[in-house]
């Protein structure tokens, strides 16, 4: 059971890949990866055979380049929130990622904190591993504005799981 957070990596190819946050969770044989690319927090890879996707492949698949497919990308959001009638799936900014006390021994929990660039919203994406093939996910949504905000839909996990 392991958690990896990277923003850059040595280049394995001549492909130009800018720095971007990439999070990887390993538990049992399951490898699950998420990335913040062009303001979208996306599912980058899910493997039940323990195979992580290289950073260059993640960038090619999700950045809008030649290998990327826009319909695929719209189904790849790691979570979705609708606030005041607006679906908040893009314009996210990376604030931080931190490992927190998981509450049970043998568990690890990572919190990825994202801030929306347009709406006064901060989201904490909590992901917990317990050394089984199951991954637990929940969101903490904080209204940082002065006015109340109506949440119509909240999907703590969407896209490819």
CA-CA distances (angstroms) from residue 129 to 33, 94, 98? 13, 22, 14
Mean pLDDT of 127-147: 90
Q: How many CB atoms lie within 10 A of CB 83?
A: 20
Question: What integer pLDDT is reported at residue 12 of this predicted model?
Answer: 62
Is residue 21, in this structure, part of any structural domain at all? yes
Task: Check which CATH number belongs to the domain holding 80 and give it.
Answer: 2.70.98.60
Which residue range forms the structural domain that includes residue 96? Answer: 2-155
For the chain, the domain total comes to 1
Rounded-to-integer distance, Cα 153 and Cα 138, Å:
14
Is residue 161, in this structure, part of any structural domain at all? no
What would the pLDDT profile of 39-90 be if each residue is shown by its tens digit? 999 999 988 888 999 888 888 888 875 445 555 555 688 999 999 999 998 9
């Amino acid at each position: 059971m392991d958690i990896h957070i990277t923003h850059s990596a040595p280049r394995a190819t001549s492909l130009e890949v800018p720095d971007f946050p990439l999070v990887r969770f390993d538990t049992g044989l399951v490898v699950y990866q998420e990335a913040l690319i062009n303001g979208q927090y996306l599912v980058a890879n899910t493997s039940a055979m323990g195979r992580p996707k290289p950073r260059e492949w993640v960038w090619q698949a999700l950045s809008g380049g030649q290998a990327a497919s826009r319909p695929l990308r719209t189904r790849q959001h790691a979570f979705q929130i609708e606030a005041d009638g607006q679906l908040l799936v893009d314009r996210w900014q990376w604030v931080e990622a931190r490992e927190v006390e998981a509450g049970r021994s043998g568990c690890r929990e990572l919190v990825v904190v994202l801030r929306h660039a347009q709406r006064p919203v901060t989201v904490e994406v909590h992901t917990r591993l317990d050394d089984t093939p199951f991954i637990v996910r929940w969101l903490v949504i904080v209204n940082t504005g002065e006015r109340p905000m109506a949440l119509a839909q909240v999907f703590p996990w969407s896209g490819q799981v």
